[in-house]
Amino acid sequence: MNKWEKNVRKVVPYVPGEQPDNINIIKLNTNENPYPPSENVLKAISEIDYNNLRLYPDPTCNILVKAIAEYYNISDNQVFTGIGSDDVLAMAFLTFFNSDKPILFPDITYSFYDVWAELFGIPYLTPELDNNFFINPEDYKKENGGIIFPNPNAPTGLYQPLSTIEDIVKYNSDVIVIIDEAYIDFGGESAIKLIDKYDNLLIVQTFSKSRSMAGMRIGFAIGSPILIKYLNDAKYSFNSYTMNQTALNLGAACIKDKAHFNKTVKKIIDTREMTKKQLAKIGFSFPDSMANFIFARHKDIPAKELFLALKQNNIFVRYFDKPRINNFLRITIGTDEEMNTMINFLKNYINKLSVRQSLI
């Protein structure tokens, strides 16, 4: 080891889903939206003045902040924006989790949380989800330095009712509670309605899933004005110009098209429910996902075997080789055609295995 390496901050990084170069695949491994964004976005692209690209973007992100505030019928000073929800969440970790007490998040959840905790030197504990992958609220009623979890959870897709969220937030009035709602538009009720009641609650959402804008990296947080002020103070001490002009304008255009948003979300939900029925018919079981993915396992065939077989046939899903979930596949909801292709492949694969086993 070089002498200077003793001063390097060493962390095990987050591993994102594979992004293959081959376009002739069915890509169901990163929870992207299979449909294009609103045509408002295309129009906004055509109106970009390239001469303005020589100028710095608005550090307050005013055009996007106002559009989000109008959509959710809240004040501008209750909105914070960033480069995808990962940027927003990282800033929230940096800003709010500074106690010497451990923060709490589930043992099975978004795997970036422990990475940020390690990076920023934040102590943490991971209460176990129950055998059905639900949070036990009592696990979050002990001394802590803050709480974060997704709702619906990832990778399970399970939604915790708003009453559970409020119970946890109300009990933990002395710390910040962050609800990561990356998938809330696909099922369940957002906790945004609680922000005026609890000034310690921060809601984080993204344009990457339901709004088809993963490539533009747009995320936001909603909370009390004091929480948003603290986030902005940290942001301006770190990097004033976090979002580029194009993302700001396209994001504002996107969120104004409610009809396109509702239509796209409905299509994904319908396809998800159809896929659940088809998977169940061929021996899969899964938690009742309220997200744009299904967390499934087969009654006989190991998940890793199915993952590799699918991949070899250009169908990419996500596999996590981790305790308690290493026999599950996380399957993003694509188009009806993509899901039917996957189902048909699985049917044939399972049938061939059954025939082989019967001949032994």
251-280 tens-digit pLDDT: 999 999 999 999 999 999 999 999 999 999
* pLDDT of res. 11: 87
At 147, list the tokens.
């709480």
* pLDDT of res. 359: 65
* pLDDT of res. 360: 61
The Cα–Cα gap between 25 and 312 comes to 10
DSSP state of 314: T
Q: β-strands 201-206, 219-223: how paired?
A: antiparallel
User: How is domain 14-34+259-359 classified at the architecture level of CATH?
Assistant: Alpha-Beta Complex (3.90)
At 70, list the tokens.
């109008």
35-44 tens-digit pLDDT: 999 999 999 9
97-155 tens-digit pLDDT: 999 999 999 999 999 999 999 999 999 999 999 999 999 999 999 999 999 999 999 99
The Cα–Cα gap between 249 and 41 comes to 8
* pLDDT of res. 23: 81
Domain ranges of the chain: 14-34+259-359, 39-256
Tell me which amino acid residue 329 is: L
Band of residue 54 on the pLDDT scale cut at 50, 70, 90: very high
The Cα–Cα gap between 153 and 150 comes to 5
* pLDDT of res. 20: 86
Question: SS3 of 137, please?
Answer: helix
Kindly report the length of the chain. Answer: 360
pLDDT of residue 298 exceeding 80: yes
Strand intervals (E) in 83-218? 103-104, 124-125, 147-150, 177-180, 201-206
Q: Which CATH number fits the domain 39-256, given the four candidates 3.90.1150.10, 3.20.170.30, 3.40.640.10, 3.40.50.720? A: 3.40.640.10
Question: SS3 of 237, please?
Answer: coil
At 352, list the tokens.
């061939």
11-25 tens-digit pLDDT: 888 888 888 888 889
The enclosing H or E element of 319 equals: strand 318-319
Q: What is the mean pLDDT of the chain?
A: 95
Per the listing, tokens 């922000």 go with 195
**Equal fold, 14-34+259-359 vs 39-256:** no
* pLDDT of res. 239: 87
Mark out the alpha helices in the chain (DSSP H runs): 39-46, 62-72, 84-96, 113-120, 162-171, 225-236, 245-255, 258-281, 303-312, 336-359
Q: β-strands 219-223, 79-82: how paired?
A: antiparallel
* pLDDT of res. 251: 98
DSSP state of 301: S
Instruction: Count Cα atoms within 13 angstroms, Cβ side, for 327.
Output: 10
Rg for the chain (alpha carbons), in Å? 21
